[in-house]
Structure 1
Amino acid sequence: MALSSLTAVSPVDGRYYNATHELAAYFSEFALIKYRVLVEIEYFISLTTSGIPQLQHFDGSLNEKLRDIYRNFTIEDAQWIKDKEKITNHDVKAVEYFIKDKFELFGLHDSLEFIHFGLTSQDINNTAIPYSWKEAIQNSYLPAIEELTNELRALSDEWTNIPMLARTHGQPASPTRLGKEIKVFVERIEKQIQLLIAVPYSAKFGGATGNFNAHHIAYPTHNWVDFGNNFVNNVLGLDRSQTTTQIEHYDNFAASCDALKRVNTIIIDLSRDIWTYISMDYFKQKITAGQIGSSAMPHKVNPIDFENAEGNLGLANALFEHLAAKLPISRLQRDLTDSTVLRNIGVPFAHTLIAIKSTLRGLRKLILNEKALQEDLEKNWAVVAEALQTILRREGYPKPYEALKDLTRTNTHITSETIAEFVENLNVSAEVKAELKAISPSTYTGVQL
């Protein structure tokens, strides 16, 4: 069968293609090849300004035409490289031959051997991959997570004054405000995004074992460390690891995966909470004409968006966990286990993006059922016991906690009348009684956060 969204093995490229197709620009085989070409071209251009005698005739006039090789990179170009790889059995070497072929068209016959000069394949992979990772984070992930936090912030503002019964250990607890409970997730996500952004996009660039051996033997008077730092940090906009083996040690990449995993965990927590509120009838859901909730029960409108998000985030986190645990480990100066693992970095990224979009879709279907929240508060007058005993403590009333404990545990159902009767029989001033009687589950919601 021909590959399509219906025949793809992975749901990332199949069922969920509409949610993930933008990631092909960063994580597909085409994208990886394109980023390798970009690094090779920019490296060659940097060499022409490094003082190498054989390249001193370059005046920069061809630079933009050389950059057009990767700017205008096509599927046909990528296929040329894949066909060459069948012969070379080496993906990066095939990229080198592709660029040499292009350089021939510019008449640069005498400069061909300065393409990939002194490099090993990991100098290309360990710059191309963090470059693509950085662009995916900045261009796809951060806008998506910002859209989610903006939606949550708007809902928090809209519901800022909606009182709600809190539940700790699943039991009725001191009331809160719905808007504040949503705001909890906004703050948590924003804090973790700050940590994610702070992680450098580290790259390795230093030859076969990280020491610029080939560069140094060819041009021993050049400062190749300064060259490498300038190329990686300033030209590519990454962060060059100074002391490496043949490969990047991936510690910062692991930190990035861990940061993404923490954000995902927060969204799982949000999804489960909203799912529970829906089950408690705090929220209704908008119905889309023609859609079916259950094949057997016509009345059902299931919270599928939050369930979908939770499932995809669990998959993403399992893969992020593996990436963070595996990639920083390599036998001696290099083994090949990182190579096949790195080809999968787009998979947890895709599941994360699916989940963010699904969460947004679910949030935008919510219809607040304020009546249910009010009824729940009214059924749980016992939660004002904390308020009453605290004021009585302030007044020096003897054993107020014990008095409220006896009240709430000997009565099977506490009502406003139960509380009013209790207050009336207290040996306190009329002013304090009035203060106590003014407390209700709807008003005992603390400070506005």
Structure 2
Amino acid sequence: MIPRYSRPEMVAIWSPETRFRIWFEIEAHACDAMADLGVIPRANAEAVWKARDAQFDTARIDEIEAVTKHDVIAFLTHLGEIVGVDEARFVHQGMTSSDVLDTAFNIQLTRAADLLLADIDALLAALKRRALEHKDTVCVGRSHGIHAEPVTFGLKMAQAHAEFDRARARLVAARAEIATGAISGAVGTFANIDPAVEAHVCAALGLSPEPVSTQVIPRDRHAMFFATLAVIASSIERLATEVRHLQRTEVLEAEEYFSPGQKGSSAMPHKRNPVLTENLTGLARMVRSMALPAMENVALWHERDISHSSVERMIGPDATVTLDFALARLTGVIDKLVVYPERMRANLDRLGGLVHSQRVLLALTQAGLSREDAYATVQRAAMKTWEEGRDFQTELAADARVTGALGADGLAALFDLGHHTRHVDTIFARVFGA
């Protein structure tokens, strides 16, 4: 997590101040629950809440941790300094550090997920706007990077919209997966704390109690969460890669907005490089790289070891901050993307009508030729068009077998672009509704 690829609202979720504030709320709500049960005096629970508006001294906590070598104990010691040692003596009663750490971590992840969902909503809005704007902007579709058949640029945007709509649904599910808390004690048996305390804390903090915990919340939940972030990152890269290909000089059907005063190269003044989408490709790699250690965190020893801790202290903030930045950047790219319909049409016509080859093939089979004969006939004309730069329709019209089967007017009708786009409205209705 570096400032260059960070946005402040997401960064704030992972600040020490936020973390300690969440720890405090967990401990204070636990004290409330224990007071309700008559386990501790009500006065002590109320005394803890005196720190509600306190500014926790992160430097002081670090100073204590340098001696204790334990961050939760350092925090609890500092909390005692704020509310009074005697008043705080029931804080953390029957709890273990992971009750605080895991519950707080999941709160941070749910808050991060909420920001990411808002990011996706903004991207979906941009994609829908551009899709509707270019619903009928015809361009060539490519398979293997080679001209295939006509599509529209709006369909490209609609496909991306559908993909990120799925991403949103996955993230909602992943958020629910990690929206659990555990206040169950040293090995998850509630030996020294009542399950009602866990229920109270979770309800107060918007979580569900973890059905069966050990000393920790099971890490398969977190593995799913980070895997979901990785899939979203891959979707970002797919769309970024599309833009990069469309911006290549030989293609130039669309390009990133090039702002006044922007420079593309220190050596070549003419350069207009797809730097934002290249950057997104790299950021996607980083987010994906954090899914594997999340998977490896699942297999902890027995009721818990600490091998997951160092991993999560990094991937929690790094994955969410990076993805937040990437989603916002991609939204900006799509929102300002410069589209060149004339270049799209020029590229579409570049191969002399070869994009209509399948229509001719099917028409010939409908007219009575075997598929093998029809394919050979069309391919023969197509290869001459490809290799000699000829016009595909003209080559076909010179073949008596083709004109005999289809007639001149029938052949010409097969080169109508409207045939390829006649179901665009149907597809759009599937994506955006009627």
CA change 1:422–1:39 in 2 (3 A) is: farther
Residues 244 and 287 (structure 1), Cα distance of their counterparts in 2 relative to 1, 3 Å cut? closer
Q: Which runs of 5+ in 1 are unaligned?
A: 1-11, 216-223
Give per-residue Cα distances to partners, 1:129-180, cap 9 Å, x unaligned: 1011111111x21111221222112111111101111111121101111111
Higher alpha-carbon deviation: 263-272 or 399-408: 399-408
Alpha carbons of structure 1 residues 27 and 403: separation in structure 2 relative to 1, 3 Å = same
* Preserved CA contact (<8 Å) 1:174 1:384: yes
Alpha-carbon contact 1:249-1:327 (below 8 Å) kept: no
Match of residue 431 from structure 2: none
Give the Å deviation of 1:310: 0.7
Question: Could you say which residue in structure 1 is the equivalent of 2:12?
Answer: 25
Which residue of 374, 396, 407 corresponds with 2:381?
407
Match of 1:260 among 195, 219, 229: 229
Partner of 1:128: 104
What per-residue deviation string (whole Å, max 9, x for no partner) do you get for residues 226-278 of structure 1? 4423432x222223222222122211111011111001101111111110001
* Cα distance in structure 2, aligned partners of 1:150 and 1:435: 43
Name the CA distance, whole Å, in 2 between partners of 1:184 and 1:53.
58
When structure 1 is superposed on structure 2, of 327-336 and 253-262 the one drifting more is: 327-336
Q: For residues 68 and 392 of structure 1, what CA distance do their matches in structure 2 show?
A: 85
What does residue 426 of structure 1 align with? 403
Q: 1:295-340 deviations in whole A, cap 9, x for unaligned?
A: 11111111100001111111121023222x2221212222221221
Task: Letter of the 2:317 partner, please give it.
Answer: G
Matches within 5 A, 1:42-441: 42-49=29-36, 51-52=37-38, 54-55=40-41, 62=46, 69-70=51-52, 72-74=53-55, 77-104=57-84, 109=86, 112-138=88-114, 140-199=115-174, 200-201=177-178, 202-215=180-193, 224-232=194-202, 234-279=203-248, 280-323=251-294, 325-344=295-314, 345-380=316-351, 381-398=353-370, 399-411=373-385, 412=387, 413-415=389-391, 417-418=393-394, 421-422=397-398, 425-428=402-405, 433-440=408-415
State the SS of the aligned residue for 2:57. helix
Inter-CA distance 435–27: structure 2 relative to 1 (3 Å threshold): farther
Superposed structure 1 runs of 4+ greater than 6 Å apart: none
RMSD: 2.5
In structure 1, what is the Cα distance between the partners aligned to 2:242 and 2:356?
Answer: 24
Does structure 2 retain, via aligned residues, the 8 Å contact 1:163–1:177? yes
Q: CA deviation at 1:68?
A: 6.8
Distance 1:134 1:145 in 2: 15
The structural deviation recorded for 1:420 is: 6.5
Separation of aligned partners in 2, 1:443 and 1:301: 34
**Residues 164, 442 of structure 1: 8 Å contact kept:** no
- CA–CA distance in 1 between the matches of 2:398 and 2:184? 79
Counterparts of 1:354 and 1:429 in 2: how far apart (Å)?
Answer: 56
Q: Encode CA deviations 1:388-414: one digit per residue, 9 max, x unaligned.
A: 222333343444333212221244334
Q: CA deviation at 1:97?
A: 2.5
Which residue identity does 1:197 align to in structure 2?
Answer: V
Q: In 2 relative to 1, CA 53–250 (structure 1 residues): closer, same or farther, beyond 3 Å?
A: closer
Question: How far apart are the structure 1 equivalents of 2:134 and 2:90?
Answer: 63
What amino acid is the match of 1:334?
Answer: R
Counterpart-to-counterpart distance in 2, 1:287 and 1:57 = 63
More helix by share: 2
Q: Is the 8 A contact 2:139 2:348 kept in 1?
A: yes
Distance 1:165 1:419, change over 3 A: farther
> Structure 1 CA distance, aligned partners of 2:141 and 2:416?
10
Distance 1:278 1:243 in 2: 52
Q: Is the 8 A contact 2:364 2:406 kept in 1?
A: no
Match of 1:220?
Answer: none
CA separation of 1:226 and 1:394: change in aligned 2, threshold 3 A: farther
Tell which deviates more after alignment, 234-243 or 266-275. 234-243
TM-score normalised by length of structure 2: 0.87
> 2:337 and 2:66 mapped to 1: Cα distance?
53
Amino acid at match of 1:113: R
Structure 1 residue identity aligned to 2:307? T
2:23 and 2:101 in contact (8 A); partners too: yes
Offset at residue 185 of structure 1 (A): 1.4
Aligned length: 412
- The amino acid that maps onto 1:348 is A
Taking the aligned partners of 2:170 and 2:49, their CA distance within structure 1 comes to: 34
**Amino acid of the residue matched to residue 308 of structure 2?**
D
Distance in 2, matches of 1:180 and 1:274, equals: 14
Give the whole-Å Cα distance in 1 for the aligned partners of 2:289 and 2:354: 42
User: 1:402 corresponds to which letter in structure 2?
Assistant: A
